[in-house]
């Protein structure tokens, strides 16, 4: 029995010669080892810094900690950490608008019990600081007992203002049956947007962030775009064959809606936040205007979760993906149908890169069902 072939939709190009490819592979291995070693050293530095304890204090601190722990009830110190921890960076020249944007998250954090980590010192080159800091936090969490770890890190840029504190971040996280989804993000016509994304605390995420550092070090096309180096490196990594199956794209207005001008927001009342992305000279005035009118827009945009469309939209989103994968598996279990091959590949592409576009995904499912001539009892849409 023949099954449908699994398509390859990566953007990889073939090398001009076998020798060239072998040399490139050797170079990449050297770079990988260098970056991995550097990442480990930097991560260990952050771990040591996070304790803020000098060598002469280790014995005293350990003894005191053990004495304090022995007074606790069994298991009291093993309570699960917050399910989501927020992460951002704010270093370099002082910027009151960025500081105010970060403070806009405080009410949300207090309401839902989120912790927030803010990187305030440049680690190495500024574009290396973000992935290195995320890597250090992932390693810190992974070093904890499972029951004490944070489940997800949510990265947000300092140009993101929280609008609706009544929306819990858990609203966007995958249901329990999506255990292999480790990255949640959004994209636009330029590709992945790094303004906001979620990263599961998992060894996959550690490997992924190490690979981002490798790409930053070794890819010429990334080096030539210093303003968007991390974004391009992340795009390269998460669309590769090794990582793409664990990435889910979600509708951008859910948690990465753009401010389009001084008074034009692409979202709607009840949206979680606004991202002041690619506004040029209007960025600072638009941010200042939003911050100055905080009390006015907070009363209008702070909407209870039940009064928004989030619950319905997220439920339908995950159900569409379930149906798409069920249909692909059903197609693979049947004898090969040449007429359905293109429809199969189109749905496979859609469920990998276009799952945030509901109409595209539904159309791709319908076309594959028709090509397979499924009975009504077998159709998913």
Structure tokens given for 276: 């002041």
Q: What is the pLDDT of residues 168-213, one digit of tens each?
A: 999 999 999 999 999 999 999 889 999 999 999 999 999 999 999 9
Domain-ending residue, one of 277, 304, 331: 304
Tell me which of 5-9, 98-102, 281-285 is least confident.
5-9
Query: What gap in Å lies between CA 76 and CA 17, rounded to an integer?
Result: 61
The answer to the question of residue 3 being in a domain is: no
Verify that 356 and 372 share a domain, yes or no: yes
Confidence label for 45 from pLDDT (cuts 50, 70 and 90)? very low
- Quick check: is 62 in a domain? no
Q: Indicate whether 294 and 174 sit together in one domain.
A: yes
DSSP H or E stretch at residue 154: strand 152-156
Output phi, psi for 84, to 5 deg. -130, 135
Q: Are 297 and 319 contained in the same domain?
A: no
List the structure tokens of 27.
Answer: 């170079």
* Residues 108 and 181 grouped into a single domain: yes
Q: Say which CATH number the domain at 188 has.
A: 3.90.550.10
Pair (330, 294) in one structural domain: no
C-beta separation of 126 from 229 below 8 A = no
Asked if 230 and 216 touch (Cβ cutoff 8 Å), the reply is yes
Note whether residue 322 is domain-resident.
yes
Task: Give domain status of residue 117, yes or no.
Answer: yes
Instruction: Please state, in angstroms and rounded to a whole number, the distance separating the CA atoms of residues 377 and 202.
Output: 38
- Output the pLDDT for position 49: 41
CA distance 215 to 288: 36
> Is residue 197 domain-shared with residue 143, that is, in the same domain?
yes
Are residues 345 and 254 located together in one domain of the fold?
A: no
d(CA 127, CA 9): 28
Within this chain, do residues 28 and 144 fall inside the same structural domain, yes or no? yes
Considering the domain boundaries, does residue 2 fall inside one? no
pLDDT in tens, 110-157: 999 999 999 998 887 667 888 999 999 999 999 999 999 999 999 999
pLDDT of residue 159: 94
Residue 261 belongs to a domain: yes
Assess if residue 85 is contained within a domain.
yes
Better-predicted residue by pLDDT, 306 or 27: 306
Judge if 243 and 373 occupy the same domain.
Answer: no
Does one domain contain both 257 and 334? no
Domain range for 169: 22-52+78-304
Tell me the C-alpha distance between 270 and 234, whole Å: 29
Pick from 280, 275, 312: which is nearest to 290 by CA?
275
**Alpha carbons 246 and 205: distance in angstroms, whole number:** 10
Whole-angstrom CA distances from 38 to 18, 124, 182, 207 are: 30, 11, 24, 14
Residues 80-112: tens digit of each pLDDT: 557 999 999 998 767 899 999 999 999 999 999
Q: Where are the alpha helices (DSSP H) in 193-340?
A: 203-218, 220-223, 229-238, 252-255, 283-292, 294-301, 310-332
User: Nearest 5 degrees, angle CA 9-CA 211-CA 225?
Assistant: 80
Look at 241 and 16; give whichever has higher pLDDT: 241
Collapse the DSSP code of 186 into the 3-class scheme (helix H, G, I; strand E, B; otherwise coil) and give the result. strand
Number of domains in the chain: 2
Contact predicate 196/231, CB 8 Å: no
Amino acid 144: pLDDT: 95
Contact 293, 320 (CB under 8 A): no
Report H helices in 52-117: 58-70, 96-103, 106-112
Q: Which of 304, 334, 359 is the last residue of a domain?
A: 304
Q: Is residue 208 part of a domain?
A: yes
Q: What are the b/e assignments for 257-293, b being 16+ CB within 10 Å?
A: bbbeeeeebebeebbbbbbbbebeeeeeebbeebbee
User: Model pTM?
Assistant: 0.79
Average pLDDT, the chain: 81
Q: 285, 304, 323: which is the final residue of a domain?
A: 304
Is residue 300 located within the same domain as residue 341? Answer: no
Distance of CA 16 to the CA centre of its chain: 34
Interior angle at CA 282, CA 281 and CA 283, nearest 5: 95
Among 214, 216, 199, 96, which Cα is nearest to 151's?
A: 199
Cα-Cα-Cα-Cα dihedral sign, residues 251, 350, 195, 189 = negative
The strand pairing partners of 160, in sequence order, are 275
- The reply to whether 207 and 345 lie within a common domain is no
Q: Which of 165, 172, 262, 243 is CA-nearest to residue 203? A: 243
Q: Are 305 and 167 in contact (CB under 8 A)?
A: yes
Q: What is the distance between the alpha carbons of residues 345 and 130, in angstroms, rounded to a whole number?
A: 35
């Amino acid at each position: 029995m023949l099954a449908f072939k699994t398509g390859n939709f990566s953007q990889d190009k073939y090398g001009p010669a076998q020798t060239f490819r072998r040399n490139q592979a050797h170079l990449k291995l050297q770079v990988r080892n260098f970056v991995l070693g550097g990442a480990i050293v930097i991560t260990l530095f952050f771990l040591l810094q996070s304790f803020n304890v000098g060598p002469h204090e280790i014995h005293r601190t350990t003894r005191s900690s053990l004495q304090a722990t022995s007074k606790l009830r069994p298991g009291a110190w093993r309570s699960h950490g917050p399910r989501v921890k927020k992460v951002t960076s704010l270093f370099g020249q002082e910027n009151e608008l960025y500081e105010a944007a970060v403070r806009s998250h405080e009410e949300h954090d207090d309401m839902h019990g989120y912790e927030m980590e803010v990187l305030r010192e440049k680690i190495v080159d500024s574009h290396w600081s973000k992935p290195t800091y995320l890597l250090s936090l992932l390693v810190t969490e992974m070093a904890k007992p499972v029951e004490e770890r944070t489940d997800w890190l949510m990265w947000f840029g300092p140009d993101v203002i929280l609008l609706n504190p009544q929306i819990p971040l858990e609203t966007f996280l995958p249901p329990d049956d999506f255990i292999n989804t480790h990255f949640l993000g959004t994209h636009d016509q330029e590709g992945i947007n790094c303004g906001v994304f979620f990263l599961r605390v998992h060894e996959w995420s550690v490997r992924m962030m190490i690979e981002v550092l490798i790409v930053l070090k070794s890819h010429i096309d990334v080096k030539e775009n210093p303003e968007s180096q991390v974004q391009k490196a992340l795009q390269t990594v998460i669309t590769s064959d090794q990582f793409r199956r664990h990435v889910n794209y979600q509708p951008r207005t859910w948690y990465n809606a753009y401010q389009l001008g001084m008074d034009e927001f692409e979202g709607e009342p009840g949206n979680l936040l606004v991202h002041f992305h690619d506004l040029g000279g209007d960025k600072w005035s638009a941010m200042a205007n939003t911050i100055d009118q905080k009390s006015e827009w907070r009363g209008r945009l702070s909407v209870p979760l039940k009064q928004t469309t989030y619950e319905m939209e997220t439920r339908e989103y995950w159900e569409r993906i379930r149906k798409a994968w069920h249909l692909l598996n059903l197609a693979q279990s049947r004898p090969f149908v040449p007429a359905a091959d293109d429809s199969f590949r189109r749905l496979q592409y859609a469920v990998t890169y276009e799952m945030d576009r509901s109409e595209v995904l539904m159309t791709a499912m319908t076309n594959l069902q028709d090509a397979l001539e499924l009975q009504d009892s077998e159709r998913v849409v």
